[in-house]
Structure 1
Amino acid sequence: MSHGDDIDARFAELMEQFDQGDRRRMQAAATKAASKASRQRHPSVRGHRRRRAWLAVWSVVAIVTVAGVMVTLQPDWLGAASLEATGPVPEETAPVRMGPPSDGEGAAEGTAEGTVEASATPTVAQTPAGPFAGSPAEQYADGEAGLVLPKAKAMGGLSKKQVAAGIDRVRELLAAAHLDRPTLMGGKPKAFMKLLDPAQRAWFTEHLDRRKGDQARRWVTSFAPKTAELVTDVIKVHGKSSLAAFKDQAGRRGVKIKTNFLFVYAIQRPGQPHTSTRLIAHDIGEVLLYANDVRWLRLWNNGGVTGARCDAKDGFVHPAYVDSVPDEEQRKGRDKPRIDPYDLDRERHPGECRKASRV
């Protein structure tokens, strides 16, 4: 396919996402912008070459305009991504493309379900009220202040002091998994690893960043290297937790801590403020406390990520910007019901790539 045909196909694909009224408004804006660009064309372009240049300029400007409007009209393009999905994942620091890119026990469970500068809609970084304005996250606590856990009490064969120590460890694990800066930026999650029970730490170390099979990296929020930077040092946190006694299949008693927390990040491509957006990690977990000071992660980071690509399987979070190359896995879930990523109790669909109603 020629370069011109590829641009036309991409434009048609984008236009299909909007209703007739939206199309008329975007086409009018694109025509106006293209007309202005055509008046500045190089004088050496003549005849059919001039007409072809005009068509190319119109198509490119139209795509840029549509991408800008998408930020306002289609926020659900940032969907929840499944880390089990397959497919090539481009490095998001590369230029925006108009075509396809060239080139068991102890295992916690976890699934994860381009803005253009021409847009007249302020990005999250440019919003005077802050990057979380207009979203539920605006009312959430900042950082660790949002990690509210139950008060300790003696139960399940553990003393109040033992339960308190377990609760403190769970709070530290949550912070290390989702708030630790080196981990967020794709580094080795050392803060998280040292908090694990020795047996689980061994499993985690063995499975960290493996090319195939189980990916321990999914236990934490780590942006794929070179794909994102924080717009602000503030990370919004909101959630709930519970405490209950239990007895396992071997007859051992203990205390179960259930966690359900949202972590909302304001991010952008490195050095590109016009791409700023929000990304939401949902950590659903379950930690078992035993009298012998064993804290076992039975379930961890199992709520998914909204605002991430669906075609990544390396355990890292790959942000989905509105000008990113197409995500075929996300396209498959286009007709499925949208999710509200801020709903702590929403119905979950593990392994599916779902669109979000808002970010």
Structure 2
Amino acid sequence: MNSKHLGPLTVVFADHSDEPGGAEFALIRLLSVPQRWSPVVVLPSSANSGSGVFVTGLPSGIPVIRNGPGHTARREDGSGLAANLRLAAKIVRSAVAIARLRVVREADVLVANTTRAGVYVALAALIGRKPFVVHIRDLISAEAIGPAATLLMRRVVLPRAAGIIANSRASRETVSASTRTQNVRVIPSPAGLAPVEPDSVDATGPVRRIGMVARIDPWKGQELLLRAFADACIDGDQVLVFHGAPAFGHEQFAADLRRIAAELSIQNRVQFAGHTSDVSGAISALDVCVQASVRAEPLGQNVLQYLSAGKPTIVSGEGGPTEWVTHRENGLVFLPRDQASLADAIREIVGDSELRHSLARNAAATPGLLTDSQVSDQIFDVVRTAAGR
């Protein structure tokens, strides 16, 4: 047997961005858990070469290599054929650059952490004849990621993958028709969960702080929650708290939210707390937690974090969150994108302490909430199988 295969797996993890996003934090959490692999993170060239979320968040000793053309999580400038051709050229250059890296040539397996990385990792793997795993963190559909990206994923990436990790059943359903490998698993992303004991939960006190923990981004639904809060709690003393910073070019949206709060005359009852590295502490200080994305969430890491903390939780009734929350059992589910429905849910959960307490205890008892170590073990099994180990 080749002595190379007696040691830990050499795994190259590729991401297309070093801005703070759910996929990036999930990878940092994954690589912060001791595992039987030797990991390397490969990123595109970037203006954040001296900083970025991976530089500040990864454990020391994990190499971070930057090469190839710079990518961004924002949409490419322009639209139509010309923009698609520019993006295609950039993806090909990224694939060639990655395939030329010595660490990639010597790796046992490549892992694409995001959809865009999946495209150029698939091409790099084809060039270097390497197995690769793709992490599905998006709903692979034209509505969610655009028609060009959907076509590339279904025609180029998924049929060639040696392993597929979907973060929810909803995500898996959008790729099942395009996969050939049997090495497919639904595994929630590492979310830093430390589930509390249901018996320790007490949510009978008054509701003072209602909040969301998510980056400031139009599709995360902060405006929907802001308007529903103004409707539901206009005569109360509750405070609405947004934990999260604008990323991926959405600074103007953050300013718009402040303007809307002023227009609704609730600016003194809305707090923009900014990014926090202490997610559990932020959630602990909230009395009611909300997920209000205005398009279907593939998973909703914040929902898992809310449930794990034993918090009364309100979620939108589509996508991954509905796989975890059952209406009036361990949370409330409102009609997607419906301000009145969300306002009704807020009124109900604020006004009924008995219901609130029941939902909170059941939230903490939600089946399937996994620690990062448990998630890491499952992901390792997929990666090891893909590598033929």
Range into which the TM-score falls when normalised by the shorter chain: under 0.3
Q: TM-score with structure 1 length normalisation?
A: 0.25
Higher relative contact order (CA 8 A, sep 6+): 1
Rg larger in 1 or in 2?
1
Higher helix share: 2
TM-score, normalised on structure 2? 0.24
